Amino acid sequence: MFLTVSKKRLLSGLLVGAFGILIVSLGNWWFSISLSLIVHLALLEFFRMAEFTGIRPATKTTLVACQILLFFTQLSSCGYVSIEISDAILPLSGAAICGWLLLQPITGSIADIAASIFGLFYLGFLPSHWIKLRNLLETDLTNNFNLIPSNWSSSITFGMLITFSSCLMIVGFDIGSYFVGKKFGNHSLSPISPSKTIEGVFGGLLFSILIGALFGHLLRWEFGILIGIFIGVLVALFSLVGDLTESMMKRNAGLKDSGDFLPGHGGILDRIDSYLFTPAIVFYIVILLSPLVIFFEGVSIILPLILIFLFMIKFLILVLLISEQF
């Protein structure tokens, strides 16, 4: 039985990985449509968990609102509509969700409103940053700083590169957490996710940092390795937050998995939980990256080292707080 489950898990994992590589490589509408499908399935699982706790969310309205939000994010990223129009979708959708709940025969509760609005944020607004990240061009960044070496293929865009790198850092964190935790894990991180250990989390952090450092080195930025390490720490931090957030919701709903869509892995939401908070963080860090790189030119290496050290301390404090809370 274990071997059968492991083979199913390995096969589905490889298929998911191949699908991810394909859609990130294709980009544009292929990427956004695929993301929209994933979000739709994950949102159904999220509302299923909410219903297990007695909540009656605005499921259909929120599903439509999330698709509209992703659609207009793609339009604004391609320059077809202004960013202001895209930004207006979130508050308008929130108002529409509240309006729908007001019109129901049984007026919605605070929990119904909160779950619906959180669903819009969690599986609409946050994933929309993957579209922003994938469509990011060097010309979108401050001072039009040259972030890709001139001898690289013209088909490689900055958005493609940063999206691939972010995904690899998340995968590295998951793999590192799993294997280091299995080998050396003795201290449980939290009863929210019993299989996670403190040792495993720091193993995942190391993997994410190494991938981030490699990414920074390949781009040949000023202090590129240090900037890559900085991004790796952030990705690890918010991957952990995403993972534990979904585990907390499953625990509250009394479910082991969010669904059974992926053999050996559970539901869609079980596989993308680490990918939900990270794109927004990476996107806004990258937007600030070009002036940061320019600022670091000619500046003592001590400053970026201090920045990385502070975020490492933040990561350590978060892990300790989570473990000591229980």
- Per-residue pLDDT of 62-102, as tens digits, reads 999 999 999 999 999 888 888 888 889 999 999 999 888 88
Maximal CA-CA distance, the chain: 66
| Start-to-end Cα distance in the chain | 33
CB count in 10 Å sphere of residue 228: 24
| pLDDT by position in tens, the chain (length 326) | 434 445 666 676 677 778 888 998 888 899 999 999 999 999 999 999 999 998 999 999 999 999 999 999 999 988 888 888 888 999 999 999 988 888 887 777 889 999 999 999 999 999 999 999 998 875 555 544 455 556 665 667 778 888 999 999 999 998 888 888 888 878 777 778 778 888 888 899 999 999 998 888 877 666 678 888 888 988 998 999 999 999 899 988 888 888 777 666 678 898 899 999 999 999 988 877 666 555 555 455 555 555 666 666 666 666 556 555 54
Model confidence pLDDT, tens digit, residues 22-68: 998 888 899 999 999 999 999 999 999 999 998 999 999 999 999 99
Nearest to 122 by CA among 73, 189, 75, 63: 63
CB count in 10 Å sphere of residue 288: 12
Nearest to 228 by CA among 218, 238, 241: 218
**Encoded tokens for 16:** 């998911």
**This prediction's pTM:** 0.84
Model confidence pLDDT, tens digit, residues 3-13: 444 566 667 66
Alpha carbons 215 and 168: distance in angstroms, whole number = 10
Nearest to 137 by CA among 212, 216, 77, 215: 77
CB count in 10 Å sphere of residue 1: 5
Mean pLDDT, rounded, of the chain: 81
Q: Give me the DSSP letters along 36-92.
A: HHHHHHHHHHHHHHHHHTT----HHHHHHHHHHHHHHHHHHHTTSS-HHHHHHHHHH
What residue spans define the domains of the chain?
A: 28-134, 143-326
Q: What share of the chain is helix, strand, coil (3-state, %, to 5)?
A: 75, 0, 20
